[in-house]
Each structure stands twice: as C-alpha cells, then as structure tokens.
Amino acid sequence: MKRSWSDVALSVWGVLVFLFLFAPIIVIIISAFNSGRLLVAWDGFGFDGFAALLEKPAIQSAVWVSIQTGFIAAIVATVLGTLAGIAMARHPGKWVFWFIGLLLLVSVTPEIVDAVALLPWLVFLGQDLGIGLFNDGIVRLVVGHSLFSTAVVSYIVRARLVGLDAQLEEASADLYAKPFATFRRVTLPLAMPAVLAGFLLSFTLSLDNTIIAAFVQVSGTTPWPVYVLSALRSGLRPEIASVSTIMLVLTLVALALVALVLRRAGDSATQIARTMTGN
C-alpha cells in the first residue's frame, strides 16, 4: 500500500521530535566517559566517572531514595487520580466544578509554597501529634511528590473517559454485573491507557522534584535532584553523567523486557481497551 505524503510527513515529524527529546541525553551519555574534572569540559576517555560511584555512598543512596520515592509516589497518585478521574467523568455534578477548581489550585501553586507549607505541617503531624509515619523521609517525600501528580492523573483519566459513551458500563449493569465487576472489567480497562500514561508521568515528575524534596527530606533521604543541585557549588563532575547513563541503560533494558513480555502476552493494554470499545 502506498503511503500518503501526510503519513510520511507525520512519521518524519515524530522521529524528529524524538530526536529533539533525546538530543541532550546523547551529550550526557558521551560525557559519562569524560575522565576530566568537569562534566561539561571534555578531557579524555575513561571510566573514572563510573568508578567514582563505588567510592561515594552518598550518590548511591540519593539515586535509590529517588527511585523508591518515584515508584511509591506514582502508585499513590495513580490510584487517587484514577478514582477521581473516573468519578468526574462518570458521575458529573456540581461537585466536579469544585474538584477541578481544587486540582487547578494544586497545579498553579508554586512549588516553593508547597515546600514551606508542607515542612512545618509534616513536622507537626510527626512530632506534635506523634504519628511516627511522618518522620520517615520516604513517606514525607512521597506526600510532597504526590500532590501535583494526583492532579495530573485526574485530568488525564477524566479526559480519556469524558464523552466516551458509557453504554458499555450500562450494558454491563443491565447484564446484572455487580458495580465492582463493571468497574474492574469495563471502566478500568477503558481508562487503562490514561492510567498507564498517568503513572509514567507521575514517576517522571517525582524523579525530577527538587524544591519540595529539599525541604521535606530528613537525615539519610536526600534524593538525587537535591544532591545534583547542591553539588553545583563545587562544580558538577562527570560522575553525575555516569549515574544518569547507568539509569538510562537500566531503564531501556527494563522497557525492552516489558515490550517482550507484552508481545508474548499477545497484545498491549491499549489494544485490549480498543477491542472493548470498538468491538
């Protein structure tokens, strides 16, 4: 089949945008093998940056804290956001107006305000009310990172379901499926692409959060972005790029594995959802 020029143009555009997204990352991968003192100034090829990781527990700990926090925060935000998004799309009413207002407020509030507000609040919950949970660094980071992400997931899930006919759910109910079964077998698969996208976006946002993280962290839980930002004072070393490269490679390997598993399983989640909607 001959492809039309618009299809070709679209594909070219898609590839170009992906190149744009990865351009700086390529530079970082190259810098990871810089044996000099500064990340940006090429000195010579070497593995010094990778070796430095072994010497610096602070770096390993920071990366690990960030990954843990990212996962938990993304799960929290995805669960809360998905439920809220489905409620907004399927049970609209006056409350949606107020809820969207709250979500907008969450997204518009500058991070520094969240940061200075959350810090004394978490200390109050943890120390004064004695809820020990809130003295835990990871819990604090998860709370801080989940706010904006919850709003993001809610928007995306709502955007997915709004206006998409509820006939399937009605049919399911007509067939005497229990509400929970309808939710699990019909609504959730319909929303699934949005849920996955929201999860990935939440993870990404958490991994990059610097300002809130810097304020709420406790001893032993400095996350990676805070470490990098404060390492500017003595000049970023190539090891920062080396860590990033290792993370990238691990990510790509994980993705390849997932892709493989999905192919084995037969179909992607997107396809399952489509089969259901378009029969």
Partner 1 sequence: MPRFALAIPAWAWLAIFFVAPVAMVVWFSFGYKPGIFGTHANDVLSFDRYLEALSPTFFSTFLNTLWIGLAGTALCLLIGLPVAYWMAVKAPPSRRGLLIALVLVPFWTNFLVRTIGWQVILAPEGWLSTLLQDVGLIGGPLDILYTRSAVLIGVVYNYLPLMILPLFVAFDRVGTPVREASKDLGAGRWRTFLRVTLPLARPGVIAGVLLVFIPLMGDYITATVLGGAKGNMVGQLVASQFQAAQNWALGSAMAVMLILVIMVTVAVGALVVWLVMLPIRSRNRLVLGDAPAAATGGDRASEAARESEEVLS
Partner 2 sequence: MAEPRTPVRILASESAAKVIRSELSRRRFLSFAAAAGATGLLAACSPGGGTSSAPQATGGALENELSIYTWGDYDSPDVLEAFTDELGPNITLDSFGSNEELISKLVAAKGTSGYDIVVPTGVFIPQMIENGLLQELNLDLIPNIEFMDPAFLGRAWDPENAYSICKAWGTTGYVYDKTVITRPLTTWADFLDAAQNEAAGKTSVLDDPGDLTGIYFWANGIDWNTTDEADLTAAEDYLVNTLAPNLAAFDSYPGGAAIPQGTHVLMQVWNGDARIGILESPDPDRWQWVFPGSETEIWMDNWAIAAGAPNPEAAHAFINYVLEPENSLAELDYIGYHTGATGIEEAAAAAELPMLDLVFFTPEQIETMREGEVNDAQQRRVDIWNKTKAAAGA
Our finding on whether 40 is near partner 2 (CB under 8 A) is yes
- For partner 1, the binding residue among 116, 131, 133, 181 (CB under 8 A) is 116
Task: Find out whether 53 and 252 touch, Cβ atoms under 8 Å.
Answer: no
Q: How far apart are CA 173 and CA 106, in angstroms?
A: 35
Contact 50, 32 (CB under 8 A): yes
Q: Is 173 in the site for partner 2 (CB under 8 A)?
A: no
Judged by CB under 8 A, the stretch of 48-56, 169-177, 190-198 that binds partner 1 is 190-198
Residue 16 CB, shortest distance to partner 1, in Å, is 9
149 binds partner 1 (CB under 8 A): no
Residue 13 CB, nearest distance to partner 1 (Å)? 5
Is 150 near partner 1 (CB under 8 A)? yes
Q: Which of residues 37-76 bind partner 1 (CB under 8 A)?
A: 39-40, 76
Give the residue from 195, 171, 174, 179 showing the smallest Cα distance to 277. Answer: 171
Distances (CA, A) of 85 to 75, 76, 155, 204, 262: 15, 14, 6, 20, 26
According to CB under 8 A, which one of 8, 17, 30, 116 is a site residue for partner 2? 116
DSSP secondary-structure letter at 135?
G
List b or e across 146-184, with b for residues whose CB sees 16 or more CB atoms inside 10 angstroms. Answer: bbbbbbbbbbbbbebbeeeebebbeebeeeebeeeebbe
**For partner 2, which stretch binds (CB under 8 A), given 91-99, 169-177, 227-235, 253-261?**
227-235
- Residue 277 as a binder of partner 1 (CB under 8 A): the answer is yes
Interface residues with partner 2 (CB under 8 A) are 36-41, 43, 52, 55-58, 61-62, 116, 119-120, 123, 127, 135, 210, 214-215, 217-222, 226-237
